[in-house]
Structure 1
Amino acid sequence: MNPLLLDVPLELETERLILRAPLQAGDGEVVYQAIEDSIYELKSWLSLFQEPPTVEEVEIMLRNAHINFLKRESFRFLIFDKGSNEFIGTTSLHEIDWDIPKCEVGYWISTKYSGNGYMTEAVRELVNFGLNHFKFRRIGIRCESTNLKSRAIAEKLGFVLEGTLRNDNFSADGNKLTDTCVYSIIK
């Protein structure tokens, strides 16, 4: 089946969270604020956030994410607290290969929500969605070997560490070579 014909919900729900596609006006402002509040932690791991983006740049990023969602090239969801409707972070299925089918999952969380299990809950939901709705045969997580919080999420969710690729990438700031941990879960 052509992936464009797949029905994909714009919202997923967990016990505490709502995951929804980035398609509402004003999403850029909310995400921008979380990036600004979390920039010191984000810049350690994401080259995209070495400098804080503008609200306009974040809005463009989210609109492009929505286009990619519609094209079935990636599925980014914004994460909101069910009770307060506060923005918590993002998680996505990306690097999709529909022929196998497989993908990778990515995520980041606003610093003020870190340590409460929100990201583990959100990623669990998205991984189950990918395995059950899309019938992905493999979902991977790649992260820098020193990113212990990201690695902990993969391990809590039962992902298997397949190996560590030495000198695989540059650090987020581009100043040194880093090792990449490759995790996967298969169906």
Structure 2
Amino acid sequence: MSDKWLGKLREPTPWQAPDPRPGPVVVDGLEVRLYREGDGPRLFAAVSANRDALLPWMVWVTTDHLHVDHSIFYVERMRRGVEKPDCLDFPMGIFDAKSGEQLGGTGFHRIHPEWRDAEIGYWVRGDRQRSGICTRAMGALISSGLRSAADGGWGFRRIVIQCAEANTGSRRVCERLGLRLEGRYRADRYTEPLGYHDNLAYAVLADEWDFAQNHAKPNIARP
């Protein structure tokens, strides 16, 4: 007996992070990019603008980035991490393209090189929510994620977004972008003080995405 058969469940040419890493994505006055040296204070200001507005879903605001030094350390750790050849986590910030103010955070996470897919998550600072920032930024980021590395993108085949069913803000971003609802997981996640709650999975494939519009092609969200 051997495990050789497992190789038949993986793509022969697994995903590798483009080198150099793709540059910033700019859309409608927003810039989505990997963290750079000096971003720590911007990140701290974004989180601190209104921590309560990020709850209950971004529970890390109760334990992380409680002091500007924490954010400076985080940015430096992430900045160094993304340059490693085997990196599979690429945190990014959402910035005002003119002022440089950080408006939120996102990135490519839970990357499966053998399937060429990645998950993205997102948050917007408490004093700038419900202004369309996230929908515009995520549409542009998905385009960059699904675009081939040869064309300056990240080269993923599939992008996934998971969110709590009760998190209406995150759900609406997925719906506005026309993503397909692929699954509902009953009582799948635990978040204090809510307890267990249902989790939704949205996704889109590269050939289902309209790169010119930063939006899924028509009707892919329908069963």
Answer whether TM exceeds 0.5 for this pair.
Answer: yes
Within 5 Å, give how 1:21-60 maps onto structure 2. 21-25=34-38, 27-51=39-63, 53-60=66-73
Question: C-alpha distance in 2, partners of 1:111/1:8?
Answer: 29
Alpha-carbon shift at residue 21 of structure 1 (Å): 1.7
Matched, 1:114 2:129: yes
Q: Deviations over 1:48-71 (max 9, x none)?
A: 122462222222222222233223
Look up the match of 1:156. 176
Give the secondary structure class of the aligned counterpart of 1:62.
Answer: helix
**Corresponding pairs, count:** 185
Structure number with bigger Rg: 2
Matched, 1:91 2:106: yes
TM-score, L = length of structure 2 = 0.76
Is the CA contact (8 Å cut-off) linking 1:4 and 1:70 kept in structure 2?
Answer: no
Is the CA contact (8 Å cut-off) linking 1:22 and 1:66 kept in structure 2?
Answer: yes
What is the aligned counterpart of 2:164 among 130, 141, 144? 144
Question: C-alpha distance in 2, partners of 1:13/1:3?
Answer: 24
Look up the match of 1:183. 202
Letter matched to residue 31 of structure 2: I
Question: C-alpha distance in 2, partners of 1:57/1:22?
Answer: 14
Is the CA contact (8 Å cut-off) linking 2:139 and 2:177 kept in structure 1?
Answer: yes
Question: C-alpha distance in 1, partners of 2:33/2:182?
Answer: 30
In structure 2, list runs of 5 or more residues that go unmatched: 1-12, 148-152, 207-223
Letter matched to residue 43 of structure 2: V
Give the secondary structure class of the aligned counterpart of 1:35.
Answer: helix
Alpha-carbon shift at residue 75 of structure 1 (Å): 2.1
Question: C-alpha distance in 1, partners of 2:117/2:36?
Answer: 25
User: Which moves more between the two structures, 61-70 or 114-123?
Assistant: 61-70
Alpha-carbon shift at residue 174 of structure 1 (Å): 5.4
Alpha-carbon shift at residue 175 of structure 1 (Å): 5.2
Question: C-alpha distance in 2, partners of 1:28/1:36?
Answer: 12
Is the CA contact (8 Å cut-off) linking 1:89 and 1:110 kept in structure 2?
Answer: yes
Is the CA contact (8 Å cut-off) linking 2:164 and 2:200 kept in structure 1?
Answer: yes
Look up the match of 2:185. 165
Look up the match of 1:61. 74
Change over 3 Å in CA distance of 1:59–1:161 after alignment to 2:
same
- By percentage of residues, which structure has more helix? 1
TM-score, L = length of structure 1 = 0.89
Is the CA contact (8 Å cut-off) linking 1:144 and 1:181 kept in structure 2?
Answer: yes
Question: C-alpha distance in 2, partners of 1:7/1:165?
Answer: 37
RMSD (CA atoms): 1.9
Identity over aligned residues, as a percent? Answer: 26
